Amino acid sequence: MEELAGPLCRRLEAEPTAYDLAISSCIILYHFADVVAHVRGLTAHEVAEEIAAKVPDFHTIRAIANAGKHVELTRHPKSELVGLRAEHLVRGKGAAFSDGSYFEGNVTWSDMPEAVVVETPEGRLHDVPHLCARVFKALCSDTELFQV
């Protein structure tokens, strides 16, 4: 986490419109489940489900990571994310609030700087740099996961 995800997430925070950093950050964050699974002798799927139960944003990270690798998400534990495509990640206005959220209807302030954003199939807009930062922080603060 500290050697791969940390630097990527910090670079994405500094360069919020960097599409490559957004996809890479999501892929590394999602595949942290592989590391935990290896250490615990579980499947990556089991660990990903455990993480998502604790960190709901992990579902979206997982969806972005897989859409970024496979062009279109054809299966996912949360059916509302199926259909997400890599091309849905675009540069757009960043979130209205410091927690990465938007006003109702995916509206933000007119003067917000651009960031990589994604509108998931259920119609929710996500500020990807904020999303990555939240998941990274949550994973690092969960000692049961982080100190495998």
H runs (alpha helix) in 2-146: 5-14, 19-30, 32-40, 44-54, 57-70, 128-141, 143-146
Residue 98 has pLDDT above 70, yes or no: yes
Q: Per-residue pLDDT tens for 12-45? A: 999 999 999 999 999 999 999 999 899 889 998 8
Number of domains in the chain: 1
Which residue do the tokens 């699974």 mark? Answer: 37
Q: With a cut of 90, say whether residue 100 has pLDDT above it.
A: no
Beta-sheet pairing, 125-127 with 89-93: unpaired
Query: Has residue 5 got a pLDDT over 80?
Result: yes
Using an 8 Å Cβ cutoff, are 115 and 16 in contact?
yes
123: containing domain = 1-146
90 with 118: CB under 8 angstroms? yes
Q: How confident is the model at residue 119 (pLDDT cuts 50, 70, 90)?
A: confident
The band of 139, judged by pLDDT with boundaries at 50, 70 and 90, is very high
The pTM of the full predicted model, rounded to 2 decimals, is: 0.87
